[in-house]
């Protein structure tokens, strides 16, 4: 989840700390993932017929089960970037996500602004989450999405030290505070269609959870997900992010 307020914080504190952060880049991946400062990140390849639905900040004991039901009916697999603190308190729900064939990712333990976090704390956030997910599922976690998209070289270096592949996105809107599913779906549809015209797949972010509220209301996000599936399932292939893992590094791009 990202907010315009967090962008301002990152811009001012980042400049003061001399870490070379740019406001838009921290929250919305405006900095190129091929930057020599940040390194590569998985976003989306040059495959315009593919869509990856990804969900952040869960698991949510109220809305994640409903999302799983929606995806099961539609026979769609998605990628869930989980908060370690949420997963730790809902292990059965985490196992249910995996049993349904969905992919898990590391979204940190409790959603700090990692770009402003000391390196030791970054490692602790990521290691603790990966360890918890492995203990719950018996599987290693491969993918990592930084909260707010906020990163600096130390964040990506820590991720790679733990065997995590950094992941960003190229299609997101403020679904976490938008009450209209129609507006969420319309904004994402516009982004997806623009990406397709540029010959690129879409890595879509929606939220089934919330870092401030473990039971955050997510009905609009789930309804919007259903609308996107209905619109694109006949013309596009829905994939989990591991389908793009072997894409050549030169094809990693924001698509914005």
Q: Dihedrals φ, ψ of 179, to 5°?
A: -75, -15
Select which of 56, 57, 175, 208 is catalytic: 56
- CA pair distance 165, 153, nearest whole angstrom: 14
Token output for 207: 């939220």
Q: How far is CA 142 from CA 3, 106, 167, 181, 235, in A?
A: 27, 8, 10, 31, 29
207 assigned to active site: yes
- CA pair distance 13, 21, nearest whole angstrom: 9
Select which of 111, 207, 211, 236 is catalytic: 207
- CA pair distance 115, 49, nearest whole angstrom: 33
Q: Which residue carries 């995996």 as its tokens?
A: 98
Active site residues: 56, 207
């Amino acid at each position: 989840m990202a907010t315009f307020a967090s962008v301002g914080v990152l811009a001012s504190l980042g400049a003061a700390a001399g870490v070379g952060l740019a406001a838009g880049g921290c929250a919305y991946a405006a900095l190129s993932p091929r930057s020599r400062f940040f390194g590569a990140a998985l976003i989306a390849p040059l495959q315009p017929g593919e869509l990856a639905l990804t969900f952040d900040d869960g698991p949510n004991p109220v809305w994640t089960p409903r999302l799983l039901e929606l995806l099961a009916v539609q026979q769609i697999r998605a990628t869930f970037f989980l908060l370690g603190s949420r997963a730790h308190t809902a292990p059965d729900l985490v196992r249910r996500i995996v049993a349904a064939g969905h992919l898990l990712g590391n979204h940190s333990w409790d959603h700090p602004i990692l770009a402003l976090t000391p390196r030791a704390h970054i490692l602790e956030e990521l290691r603790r989450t990966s360890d918890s997910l492995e203990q719950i599922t018996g599987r290693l976690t491969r993918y990592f999405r930084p909260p707010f998209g906020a990163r600096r070289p130390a964040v990506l270096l820590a991720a790679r030290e733990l065997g995590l592949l950094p992941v960003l996105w190229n299609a997101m809107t403020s679904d976490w505070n938008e009450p209209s599913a129609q507006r969420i779906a319309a904004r994402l549809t516009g982004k997806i269609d623009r990406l397709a015209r540029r010959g690129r797949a879409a890595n879509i972010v929606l939220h089934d959870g919330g870092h401030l509220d473990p039971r955050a209301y997510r009905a609009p996000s789930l309804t919007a997900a259903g609308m996107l599936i209905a619109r694109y399932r006949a013309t596009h292939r829905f994939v989990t992010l591991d389908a793009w893992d072997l894409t050549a590094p030169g094809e990693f791009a924001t698509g914005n």
